[in-house]
Structure 1
């Protein structure tokens, strides 16, 4: 137990130590200040402006900024879609993989452009190298940059006084990519390659197994089977199994994985190069690479909290927002850790499974990699569902009911417990505006936040941003539950089956992308319905955030008085957490009661 607690403490401690200086660096980049990389990258930045005819001094109104975001994203969807439906005729396809069906191609294109990275396919068996790195990896960069750019448009709304301009989307994107994302991910990819993650353009290989295995006709391994290497006969407990198939070779995928793995984590994207994502030994081979990838998931979202404080010249405000997110994350990690370490009464019945921590990880190890154990698996699951990052290093469908419940709830809260790069913070700021309004009503004062008066216009958009995720998740999962083909695709029945369905639509609705497994998501209805949900849950909050930013930028600053509600003290942090949890509880408790909570109470004996 002590070792597990030490691991949790180390993960969180390193995250905070790295986030603070990175937050200040990002603030200097977005303000155009000279930094350590300016000497080499400033000529590149100016060259991009010259080639693309970008006026770095141009200021966009919120509607112009939003139009640029939407047009750019639409072009991204079209590009990734075309790459997939034509990949059989393009280079960079050593496996000679066929074209992707139109519905899956559309779903994947929307998924990566919206920073969701939901994958209804097996990466190494479906997409060519060209599609992976020219389509998906590029979108991992630009979708992450889009979220950060929108956040800075909102920050400028708080800073500016009686102005209309929120900056230039094209300038913001250029700076974010070349000064922040590219340098960070070049370094991260370098260390990942050193740690054993593959990075090549070789075709996949087939290699002999050290020991042959016997499988049934459906591919299930026959545990305990004896194989006669000379005759090829398979026996189990002395009986011949004539239908068994002896497997002597293994398929080993190759490709440019490290470059995609780096940005999929640091950009809170999550789409795996391999089908089993970060559980694959060539995508996440060791505890060292696991630590690097896990820290990179929350590094930029955590740093942006401090960036926000530095930018609005109120460091305490950034710390307060960080504290609210951090407390929620720690609670999530704690509940998941205790639940997975304790297991369930069914797991230990009759002493058939030893879940003690004597000389082993103990607890519920089903679906978890032995090289990571429970501590690293739980922290990863908590980090990825707190951020809008869908990568997994363990099978979430094998978690205990409460463990799966917490993972699901973090997404349903709107991915604001750090959340995706940029989008998590502007989502939390919408909750902060809502909290200020509620607190203002309680004390009879006009709500103010960072010197700007919060009026009905901002409140309407803030409420819509906060309710966008619950709205699309509940409507989408409700409709899906009534479509006969959807329940038929579930791997389980009852409460567990409903959890699989609810998790799927929570994942896409929260722009997360992780999967509960046990659900065949690659059907035309699911592909199209989840695509529409991803589009709404990504771009409705963006539109609302930019509308709020435009309104705030046009307002005057209000002087702080003795009666001004403090938004940096512990009381505000508490109120902010309660508002976030209250909206999540009111929105999702009935659905959660039918899924993970019903399953949890069913396991109590």
Structure 2
């Protein structure tokens, strides 16, 4: 079987698996967030945190809950890393430096999981499980809660109430993420992923000799890393490590975990707004972009020019022989079009155009299908922009799901779209403009990039694109463990995560206060293929106009050279 055919068959199997669970999972999540009952374990949690899950919140109160909970997460995770040397099961590792501890705390709370450290050489078992793995769950649940709040903004009228953040947070964790993670971890363990609390020991190597390796609760962290679109690996090699990703089957299973909730949330959206076809329209836009990017990635990695590449059957540098070009291309596209950041190959070794596609996938806002929760509210924000553009074309006040899109709504949606490019391009420009001495603690771009020219610029651009879009993957040619990059990427992650949530929740509150607008003959049918195509076009044009100059200086220049 040719490598190209193997890649196509894996892609078909993945699409089939996603289609199989789309309806039951989407309906189940809609039932979870619309239920008025509280499970007994959930009631225990509410008592512990002093929350009343029946209290309805307007958007400022909902936002305060999001920010307060996330702030406590940052402080707890920061302190846990700083006292690591005094914790049990620390494996002899010393406390993390202040700037790296800040970066890691911001990263995991922001659902980014950018890592400027090697996990197996830096983090003990307590930090990995009680710190990093816990944030994998709750940061994903926060994103889902914000998405559901926006959906309620469309579904409700004449009220500013968006539900209860604490109830949404707990339900998303207890009823959705935990059960799926248990099943997924059992699958990974059965297929060879490790799950233990072993200390550091000698491991033999195929080429002879041995090296020191520590065990850990890898399978349980791996599954929520993918399911919650987090991405932080237990080992530095991430999902290319055989302890995390043992075989071709587990590789495809992990891609499935990355995509399953973001795609299924479109069904949840349709159920909660009372129009399944609206969910299908959003799904079609997401699916079209994801499939198009995957096809382009497979093409450029299989058929890029060069005698060595053709002899190897594709651009194999930086890719695992166990997975090959096809599976690596699917993984790379899926992880950068969501806010996951897990990798089973070395993105810096992709072809120039392949590396550009991974960056462009993040620059779209990671909305195809995007992160858990963040993909849905990002796509709905883009849908509002698309409706507004359509309204301008015909000279009619735009409406979406029975709500008028006025100046307040379009300003909030526009702010949501503009904040991430501002962070990405601003921090990239500042890093490239600054030059520090080689022995400086800041160590800006002049000393941190391992390549000159277009590829070196791409390394810095990729880092801030990944951070501000809450992705977490890296070109890995950049030495990001410096005071400058740990601090600036940490700030980019926090601002890129929580500033958009401010605009999303404000938008949800504005929509919920409106009275429904009756549908007329002039109303744009947003459940039709025409609107899905308009939505895709608006996304590509807006992103292209914003990032094209930066992409031209980096991956495009490299690809054309």
Matches within 5 A, 1:163-178: 163-178=159-174
Q: 1:436: how far off? A: 0.5
Matches within 5 A, 1:239-278: 248-278=209-239
Q: 1:346: how far off? A: 6.1
Q: Which residue among 537, 542, 545 is the counterpart of 1:586? A: 545
Task: Give the structure with the higher percent helix.
Answer: 2
Q: Partners in 2 of 1:114 and 1:325 — Cα distance?
A: 23
Q: Give the secondary-structure state (helix, strand or coil) at the position aligned to 1:347.
A: helix
| Conserved 8 A contact 2:120-2:213 | no
2:155 is matched with 159
- Residues 1:207 and 2:203 are matched in the alignment: yes
Q: Deviations over 1:494-539 (max 9, x none)?
A: 1111111111111001110001111100000001111111111111
Q: Which residue among 22, 26, 30 is the counterpart of 1:27? A: 30
Q: 1:210: how far off? A: 5.0
Q: Which residue among 8, 16, 20 is the counterpart of 1:17? A: 20
Q: 1:468: how far off? A: 1.6
Q: Give the secondary-structure state (helix, strand or coil) at the position aligned to 2:43.
A: helix
2:438 is matched with none
Q: Give the secondary-structure state (helix, strand or coil) at the position aligned to 1:130.
A: helix
Q: Give the secondary-structure state (helix, strand or coil) at the position aligned to 1:316.
A: helix
Q: Deviations over 1:162-189 (max 9, x none)?
A: 1121111011111111100000001101
Q: Which residue among 251, 269, 273 is the counterpart of 1:290? A: 251
1:391 is matched with 342
| Conserved 8 A contact 1:414-1:470 | no
| Conserved 8 A contact 1:380-1:392 | yes
2:190 is matched with 194
Q: Partners in 2 of 1:74 and 1:7 — Cα distance?
A: 41
| Conserved 8 A contact 1:97-1:128 | yes
Matches within 5 A, 1:255-404: 255-345=216-306, 347-348=308-309, 354-355=311-312, 362-404=313-355
Matches within 5 A, 1:456-535: 456-484=407-435, 485-535=444-494
Q: 1:466: how far off? A: 1.2
2:441 is matched with none
Q: 1:48: how far off? A: 2.5
Q: Which residue among 387, 394, 419 is the counterpart of 1:443? A: 394
| Conserved 8 A contact 2:10-2:252 | no
Q: 1:3: how far off? A: 2.7
Q: Give the secondary-structure state (helix, strand or coil) at the position aligned to 2:311.
A: coil
Does 123-132 or 286-295 show the bigger shift?
A: 286-295
Q: How large is the Cα RMSD of the aligned pairs?
A: 1.3
Q: Which residue among 430, 433, 437 is the counterpart of 2:381? A: 430
| Conserved 8 A contact 1:344-1:400 | no
Q: Partners in 2 of 1:406 and 1:208 — Cα distance?
A: 38
Q: Which residue among 120, 123, 127 is the counterpart of 1:124? A: 120
Q: Deviations over 1:136-175 (max 9, x none)?
A: 1000100000000001111111111111211110111111
Task: Evaluate the alpha carbon distance shift between residue 2 and residue 210 of structure 1 in structure 2; reply closer, same or farther with a 3 A threshold.
Answer: closer
Compute the TM-score of the two structures, normalised by the length of structure 2: 0.96
Q: Which residue among 351, 361, 371 is the counterpart of 1:410? A: 361
Q: Partners in 1 of 2:205 and 2:494 — Cα distance?
A: 44
Q: Partners in 2 of 1:207 and 1:115 — Cα distance?
A: 33
Q: 1:56: how far off? A: 2.3
Q: 1:437: how far off? A: 0.7
1:220 is matched with none
| Conserved 8 A contact 2:319-2:328 | yes
Q: Give the secondary-structure state (helix, strand or coil) at the position aligned to 1:438.
A: helix
| Conserved 8 A contact 1:118-1:390 | yes
Q: Give the secondary-structure state (helix, strand or coil) at the position aligned to 2:107.
A: helix
| Conserved 8 A contact 1:159-1:312 | yes
Q: Give the secondary-structure state (helix, strand or coil) at the position aligned to 2:203.
A: strand
Q: Partners in 1 of 2:358 and 2:392 — Cα distance?
A: 33
Q: Partners in 1 of 2:421 and 2:464 — Cα distance?
A: 10
Q: Which runs of 5+ in 1 are unaligned?
A: 35-40, 213-247, 356-361
Q: Partners in 1 of 2:245 and 2:46 — Cα distance?
A: 37
Q: Partners in 2 of 1:52 and 1:85 — Cα distance?
A: 25
Q: Which runs of 5+ in 2 are unaligned?
A: 436-443
Q: Partners in 1 of 2:33 and 2:59 — Cα distance?
A: 18
2:439 is matched with none
- Residues 1:184 and 2:180 are matched in the alignment: yes
1:227 is matched with none
2:5 is matched with 2
1:572 is matched with 531
2:440 is matched with none
Does 201-210 or 282-291 show the bigger shift?
A: 201-210
Count of aligned pairs between the two proteins: 550
| Conserved 8 A contact 1:84-1:131 | yes
Q: Partners in 2 of 1:48 and 1:102 — Cα distance?
A: 32
Q: 1:45: how far off? A: 2.0
